[in-house]
Amino acid sequence: MMDMSMGMGLLPSQQMRASPALIALNNMLVLSNLELQQLVSQEIEDNPALEQLDSDDSLCMRCGRPMSGATCIYCLHEDLRLAEAERDDSSGVPADDEFDPLLAIAAPVTLQESLQRDLHVSLPNEDHGIADYLLGSLNDQGFLEDEIEIIADILKTDIARIERVLHKLQELGPPGVGARNVQECLLIQIDRYERIGVSNPYIQRIVAEHWLDLGEHRYGAIAQALGISYDDVVAARDFMRQHLRPFPLERGSENNSPSDTTFLIPDVVIRDEGDHLEIEVVESRRFYLRLSPIYQDLTQAVTVGQEQVSTEEREHLRTFVSRARLFLTNIRQRRETIRRIAEYLIERQEAYLRYGVRHLEALTRAEVANAIGVHESTVSRATANKYVQLPSKQIVPFSHFFTASLSIKDVIQELVSNEKLPLTDQEIVEHLHERGHDVARRTVAKYRAQLGILPSTLR
């Protein structure tokens, strides 16, 4: 358990270093909902000055509100409203095709279905069959069981193409899914963490180049081979134990199987309120924490001299109350950071949220960071491993909002589908410019090829 009792500070030298408090906040930002709940449970167990308020009602895992028995009335009403609106907007519906309210309740989404949807959005149509085959080849732990060469032979395509689709699967899925062995699974997770600024300087080389030595605990041999200290190797091992897992889907037992039912739980819910879009950071409803009133009152009494305690008791109070306050502050800052990012996404991507993927704007994490006044790595950490529920009820990863090429490809597909005469790449560039996408002709040619669209002279 990390010690978060220390305050923020600078070393006497001119070089600024991250304080323990900032490190604790950064570590908390990157956690998924499940990991945060585990951290909260552990902190409550370790720190008597921190309390979780009890709730008589269980909370909906989808929206975070109190449930009535096994049903979330809020989600049910919202689903009924949307279904009714869709029925009113539809035409040609047979009179006997009556609306069944039970069908409006969100159906469970399997991991395989979720990945299939994301892969089909991200890949050209001709690669969808490969993606589906790869998904079907995942075992219950998330590993790819079939050899790439065998898959290529079965599908009558080249190995490089299979590798390209597999890489996309590994990129979109839970960290490690699609790996062919434990070593590759760990390397994928290390790469994911490095992208968001969570890393150890030696872990990648140790896992990639000294896998057998690591498994047999030959830390001295690893240190000598890499020219580092024994303690450096131990620190890398501790990083692996804290952040990595050997099986992509080991958490949650069989329910994480690609063929079994799993739920994507949103961290942020965006609702269409007609004239505006409204956001909610869902985790704020999932648990309620506070500084223990007993510890708070006792600390106050000791401070003003109303209560006499021993030096050891005073140190106990100071340590655990400071630690609890820091933990509560970091929880609030985490929620506030996620909220500010979501608000900016609404501002920049409102058309997409209302009208669909063709209106997805080109957006970078750096732009978001500049707009809300934080470092780009903060945005990366705050959006990692987190999901957003759109007004349409679709749940997408935060990274979905930063996929500029997805929107451009979609527009290219639309332009070509509706062309009267074949459009040249330069003409497509001009159409894209009119829609706010400034891309080079060679980029259009690349995206066109990825979509399987022939040049204008051959269409």
d(CA 36, CA 255): 20
- Give me the phi and psi of 98, to 5 degrees please: -80, 155
What percent of the chain clears pLDDT 90, i.e. is strictly above it?
23
The identity of residue 29, as a single letter, is: L
DSSP state of 181: S
Q: Does 62 score more than 60 pLDDT?
A: no
CATH architecture under which domain 404-458 falls = Orthogonal Bundle (1.10)
pLDDT of residue 67: 55
Tell the residue number behind the tokens 């597909």, with chain if given.
413
Give the predicted TM-score (pTM) of the model: 0.48
Q: State mean pLDDT over 120-133.
A: 85
List Cβ neighbours of 351 (8 Å cut-off, separation of 6 or more). Answer: 359, 361
Burial (CB < 10 A; 0-12, 13-18, 19+), residue 338, is: buried
Label the pairing between strands 387-389 and 268-272.
Answer: parallel
Query: Are 109-248 and 404-458 equal in CATH topology?
Result: yes
Has residue 19 got a pLDDT over 80? Answer: no
Looking at residue 109, what is its pLDDT? 54
Q: What is the mean pLDDT of the chain?
A: 78
> Is the four-CA dihedral 53, 54, 59, 61 of positive or negative sign?
positive
**Comparing C-alpha atoms, which of 194, 186, 188 is closest to residue 167?**
188
Q: Say what the pLDDT of residue 175 is.
A: 87
Alpha helices (H) along 90-218: 111-122, 128-136, 148-155, 159-172, 182-195, 203-209, 211-215
Lowest-confidence region among 12-16, 29-33, 123-127, 398-402? 12-16
Q: How confident is the model at residue 386 (pLDDT cuts 50, 70, 90)?
A: confident
- Distance separating alpha carbons of residues 122 and 134, to the nearest angstrom: 15
CB-based burial label for 362 (10 Å; 0-12, 13-18, 19+): middle
Sign of torsion over alpha carbons 19, 20, 21, 23: positive
Nearest to 406 by CA among 372, 368, 441, 363: 363
pLDDT of residue 261: 36
pLDDT at 224: 94
Superfamily of the domain at 109-248: RNA polymerase sigma-54 factor, core-binding domain (1.10.10.1330)
Q: Which residue did the predictor score with more confidence, 195 or 314? A: 314
Q: Does residue 4 contact residue 330 with C-beta atoms inside 8 Å? A: yes
81-90, 144-153, 318-327, 399-408, range with the lowest pLDDT: 81-90
Q: How far apart are CA 288 and CA 307, in angstroms?
A: 29
Write out the two tokens for 224: 């000598």
Q: How many helices (H) and strands (E) does the chain have?
A: 20, 8
Question: 410 or 226: whose pLDDT is higher?
Answer: 226
Whether 423 contacts 453, CB under 8 Å: no
Contact 22, 64 (CB under 8 A): no
Can you give the pLDDT at residue 16? 44
Every domain of the chain and the residues it spans = 24-54+265-402, 109-248, 404-458
At 293-347, the pLDDT tens digits run 899 888 888 887 777 878 888 899 899 999 999 999 999 999 999 999 999 999 9
Answer whether 126's CB lies under 8 Å from 232's CB: no
What pLDDT is recorded for position 406? 56
What pLDDT digit, counting tens, does each position of 251-298 carry?
443 334 444 434 467 889 899 888 899 998 987 766 788 888 899 888
Q: What is the pLDDT of residue 85?
A: 52
Q: Which amino acid is at 350?
A: E
